[in-house]
Structure 1
Amino acid sequence: MIIEFEQGKIIATQHEVVVRINGNARINLQAQIDELTLIAGANVVTAVGSGINWSLKLDSNEQLQLLADEIGIAITCY
């Protein structure tokens, strides 16, 4: 599944997520599903583990819910 947001796109499968940031730098962020946390309210995706440490703010709660549905993990509420 591909989810487009203001700064780029997220490509999600059952095993991993790849984030492609628009712009000349061609930044790609990648993480296995087990390393992701989805945070409600702030609409943030974080990846921590195995040398990975990044976070990404999505445009809306709907995008976060689409991602959660696609990869099969719960959204965390703090």
Structure 2
Amino acid sequence: MIIDFSQGKLIVMSDEVQIRLADATLYAMAEDIQFRTDVLIMYADAGAVRWSIKLDSLAQLSLIKDTLMS
């Protein structure tokens, strides 16, 4: 699934997330993704992978979370 958001595009598959920004692409495996729903943050923290990004809405966060957990 591809989700447009204010900073670029989120490409969400059942096993991986790609975040395409203007000048960079961030990757993480689904098991490395976590969420902070109170502040709309999706983040990855595993080994050499460490990033966080603020989403535009709770609906986006919920859609991503549901896709990764299916």
- Deviation string, structure 1 residues 42-62 (Cα, Å, up to 9, x no partner): 110010002111000001101
- The DSSP-based 3-state class of the residue aligned with 1:54 is strand
Match of 2:42 among 23, 45, 50: 45
Alpha-carbon offset, residue 28 of structure 1 = 0.2
1 CA distance for matches of 2:59 and 2:27? Answer: 21
Question: Which runs of 4 or more aligned residues in structure 1 lie more than 6 Å from their structure 2 counterparts after TM superposition?
Answer: none
- The DSSP-based 3-state class of the residue aligned with 2:11 is strand
Gaps in structure 1 of 5+ consecutive residues: 74-78
Gaps in structure 2 of 5+ consecutive residues: none
TM-score by length of 2: 0.93
Q: Which structure would you say has the larger Rg?
A: 1
Alpha-carbon offset, residue 16 of structure 1 = 0.5
* Identical amino acids, percent of aligned pairs: 34
TM-score by length of 1: 0.84
The total of aligned residue pairs comes to 70
Question: 1:76 maps to which residue?
Answer: none
2 CA distance for matches of 1:65 and 1:34? Answer: 16
Cα-Cα RMSD: 1.2
